[in-house]
Amino acid sequence: MSIKDIRDKKIIKKISFLKKQYWNYSIKELNDWFRKNIDKKDIHNMILCSNKLVGYTCLRLGSYKLENKKNKIYYFDTLIIDKNYRKNNFGGIIMNFNNYIIKKSLTPSFLICEKLMIKFYDKYGWKNKIKKFSIINHDPRKKSVMYFNFKNENKISNKEIIFKI
């Protein structure tokens, strides 16, 4: 699918219908959230089967502060595979593609996930060693923060990191 503008209403609607399978929000709420929070600089990866959207991820450009230095980062926001296609390894395909993009950009990435998803992300090289963190505009209670492509992991494991998304 060629995307000229991710803000195209038809594309947003397809993404919202896919996300509705997992999150309990109305299509209008999902569309509104998308228009409010998604920027043209963010990266959107999609899997299509016969023109049907069956997989989607978003890498949102953000920043993190470590030792009073601000750094560019991708916030891995949303991984969703259509419930009827989950046994086809599309999750693995899109994870490997995202990892490729993150590595190629030379930018680290982090995600917030339920604790039961740690094994899945770990399988694709994501790590869960950050002990002290805070996320501006997000409540990470009962969640885990995982990271990928950080150059010096020793620096981040024992320091407090502040993420802004």
pLDDT tens, position by position, 30-42: 989 888 888 888 9
Q: Which among 91, 75, 64 has a CA at the least distance from the CA of 39?
A: 75
Q: How many domains does the chain contain in total?
A: 1
pLDDT digits (tens, 9 = 90+) for 78-110: 899 999 999 999 999 999 999 999 999 999 998
What is the model's pLDDT at position 83? Answer: 95
29 lies in some domain: no
The H helix count followed by the E strand count for the chain is 5, 7
145 lies in some domain: yes
CATH of the domain at 86: 3.40.630.30
Domain that holds residue 59: 42-164
Which comes out higher in pLDDT, residue 75 or 69?
75
46 lies in some domain: yes
156 lies in some domain: yes
Q: What is the DSSP letter of 87?
A: G
Indicate left, alpha or beta for 105 from its phi (over 0: left) and psi (-120 to 50: alpha): alpha
pLDDT, averaged across the chain = 84
Which comes out higher in pLDDT, residue 115 or 136?
115
